[in-house]
Amino acid sequence: MLLHIPQIFSAAELAEIRQALNQAHWIDGKTTAGHLSIQLKSNLQLAEGDPLARSISEVMLQRLWKTPQFMSAALPNKVYPPMFNCYTEGGTFGFHVDNAVRDIPKSIERVRTDLSATLFFSDPNEYEGGELIIQDTYGVQPVKLPAGSLVLYPSTSVHQVTPVTKGARFASFFWIQSLIREDAQRTLLYELDLSIQALTQELPGNPALVQLSSTYHNLLRRWVEV
């Protein structure tokens, strides 16, 4: 399942964040690349633990945890601390698959990467190229969202960022360990939850809602991993 969640930040908040990112200290993105991806990766990143990254991440995760669409689709258990990157002057990241497990820096915690997320801080008209290309069961999906919008997709997907030929592409990216490991099961639960919400609006008090809600929670109970 590939999902677009819009407007995590307001226009005023985005302007403030962009000003801070423009003035931030960026390092070579290869410092966090794996053995294979280091040859495919050409971008800039904020250092892990950077105070600016922490402050933006804190607000971002608080917002997402209060976004019903995100919570329903991701069913998050653990989150790898969000990271921030900048693609400019030909910056790119060739086709790759994210590591299955990520060690959280300065922690004994590990995160199984069930879902990958990218939140855009640049509008599409601010840069040329820089599309996030995701290969999924429905084919190749190009993603280039408005600033403040997030894309959520399975970490099993092969994906790339095409070269930025003009301007700068700022974004945050992170990984989620879901309560539900399998994407097909998460998708079924998400679609069922959407149906329950729609029927609750259209037919409040309908007895069928009790059975549908029971089915949802019994499937969740059957598949959940904690």
- What residues form the annotated binding site for 2-oxoglutarate? 169
CA distance 182 to 187: 9
Count how many Cα atoms sit within 13 Å of the Cα of residue 61 in the half-sphere of its side chain. 18
What residues pair up with 87 in beta bridges, in sequence order? Answer: 169
Q: Using alpha carbons, select from 15, 42, 2, 49 the residue that is nearest to residue 121.
A: 15
For every residue of 31-52, DSSP letters joined together read GG--TTGGGTEE-EEPPTT-HH
CA distance 33 to 94: 12
CA distance 168 to 123: 10
Annotated binding residues, as ranges? 96, 98, 159, 169
Annotated binding residues for Fe cation, as ranges? 96, 98, 159
Q: What angle do CA 59, 33, 105 make, to 5 degrees?
A: 50
107 SS3 class: coil
